């Protein structure tokens, strides 16, 4: 009995040691089995990081390609539209209100982005309060857009009137004076402070227009066009530049007063409203001058043929809207500064195209005016760039926490 009990006690006492040994073996096996799992998890994490980096690179490339495409469209649409307007008048077109009408008549193209946005909102948020709204413009901004659209319609008429008598190589430089007028009206309307760069731009651009106006010869004017008509067109283009420059600060003022977040979709809706109002103004002018009835006769007698007449009309309307869409996308994916630089860069391109297609002479006088226009534009945009960088630095400082050296410096003072 004692031997049996002693054996049982020894068996019981040895049991825990056996269990500890088994547990150690199981833990060792778990560690060995978890090692491949950890390696697998790390490899998956590394793979996901690599995939994320690759996806980010692809997105950056897509963004760059999209921006580059819009920059090219902005450059060529801003250079091509004046050529098409001039082609219309050179080969028998004479309806100035109709030419102005074409510059905004392509506004229905802009209805596509709001329509797509509306359909997406309606599908994703069927019961949301704003899902049934087609436009997001508030009443105040909508009314401002109509007023600016009326101004734009009158401005388009002034531009068409001037382009009917003035060569493209001159009109492109005259329209560059818009930057000087913009600086002046921005100071008067939205209290945008004058800087050395903006004052320099105003003086130089004004001098550029004076250079073109003095001793202008008649080699670029069509046969039979009087000097009085040329200088009337000259002054109309200056008025068009000034009136368009007035519309820009008014738009900035409308954004501030409307108290509405300005998104790309809001910008498209604003331009859609402006295009509608401007087209309505030009349509009224066309009706007053019987342009609607004269279009068919004008097409029959057009110098390039009836088919080319309608091609010029369609491409003028489309290219004008391509300019705005490219402008909005360039500002959205880069900055307004880049958009302004591209527009300024289109001036010499327009000059080259006018010399190539219309055989307009590019003399020393135009060369001097072009150099002054580019100098004034560069001065203006350099000043805007400095202001932008300064405001950006202030905004970053306001978001940063106060550092130890700053606290120590304040205590020393």
Q: Which residue has the tokens 């300005």?
A: 262
Delimit the domains of the chain by residue range.
Answer: 80-393
The two structure tokens encoding residue 254? 């409308």
Distance CA 69, CA 63 (A): 10
Q: Residue 401's pLDDT is what? A: 46
Q: Residue 300's pLDDT is what? A: 93
Q: Residue 42's pLDDT is what? A: 54
Task: Return per-residue pLDDT of the chain as tens, 413 residues.
Answer: 433 444 344 444 444 444 444 445 554 555 555 555 555 555 555 555 555 556 567 677 887 888 889 889 988 998 899 999 999 999 999 999 999 999 999 999 888 888 887 787 776 655 555 556 777 888 888 999 999 999 999 999 999 999 999 888 888 888 888 878 888 888 888 887 777 887 887 788 778 777 776 655 555 666 667 888 888 998 999 999 999 888 888 888 888 887 778 777 888 888 899 999 999 999 999 999 999 999 999 999 999 999 999 999 999 999 998 988 888 788 777 766 677 778 877 888 888 888 888 877 777 777 888 888 888 878 877 887 777 777 777 766 665 444 333 333 333 34
CA distances from 349 to 77, 80, 180, 320, 352 (A): 11, 9, 21, 17, 5
Q: Residue 408's pLDDT is what? A: 36
Distance of CA 291 to the CA centre of its chain: 33
Q: Residue 402's pLDDT is what? A: 40
């Amino acid at each position: 009995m004692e031997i049996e009990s002693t054996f049982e006690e020894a068996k019981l006492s040895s049991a825990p040691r056996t269990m500890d040994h088994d547990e150690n073996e199981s833990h060792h096996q778990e560690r060995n089995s978890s090692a491949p799992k950890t390696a697998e998890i790390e490899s998956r994490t590394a793979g996901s990081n690599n995939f994320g980096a690759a996806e980010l690179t692809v997105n950056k490339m897509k963004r760059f390609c999209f921006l580059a495409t819009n920059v090219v469209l902005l450059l060529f649409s801003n250079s091509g539209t004046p050529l098409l307007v001039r082609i219309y008048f050179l080969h028998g077109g004479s309806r100035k209100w109709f030419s102005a009408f074409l510059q905004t008549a392509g506004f229905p193209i802009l209805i596509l982005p709001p329509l797509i946005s509306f359909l997406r909102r309606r599908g994703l948020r069927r019961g949301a309060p704003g899902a049934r709204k087609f436009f997001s413009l508030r009443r105040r901004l909508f009314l401002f857009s109509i007023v600016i659209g009326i101004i734009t319609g009158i401005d388009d008429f002034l531009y068409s009137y001037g382009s009917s008598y003035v060569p493209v190589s001159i009109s492109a430089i005259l329209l560059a004076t818009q930057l000087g007028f913009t600086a002046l009206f921005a100071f008067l309307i939205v209290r945008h402070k004058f800087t050395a760069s903006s004052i320099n731009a105003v003086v130089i651009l004004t001098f550029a227009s004076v250079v073109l106006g003095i001793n202008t010869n008649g080699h670029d004017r069509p046969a039979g066009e009087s000097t009085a008509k040329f200088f009337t067109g000259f002054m109309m283009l200056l008025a068009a530049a000034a009136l368009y420059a007035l519309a820009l600060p008014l738009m900035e003022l409308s954004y501030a007063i409307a108290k509405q977040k300005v998104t790309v979709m809001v910008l498209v809706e604003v331009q859609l409203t402006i295009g509608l109002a401007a087209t309505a103004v030009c349509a009224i002018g066309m009706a007053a001058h019987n342009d609607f009835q004269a279009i068919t006769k004008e097409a029959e007698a057009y110098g390039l043929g009836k088919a080319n007449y309608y091609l010029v009309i369609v491409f003028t309307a489309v290219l004008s809207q391509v300019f705005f869409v490219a402008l909005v996308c360039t500002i959205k994916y880069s900055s307004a500064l880049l958009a302004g630089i591209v527009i300024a860069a289109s001036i010499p391109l327009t000059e080259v195209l006018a010399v190539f297609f219309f055989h307009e002479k590019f003399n020393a006088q135009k060369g001097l005016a072009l150099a002054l226009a580019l100098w004034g534009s560069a001065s203006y945009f350099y000043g805007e760039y400095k202001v932008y960088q300064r405001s950006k630095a202030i905004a970053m400082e306001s978001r940063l926490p106060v550092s130890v050296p700053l606290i120590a410096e304040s205590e020393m003072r």
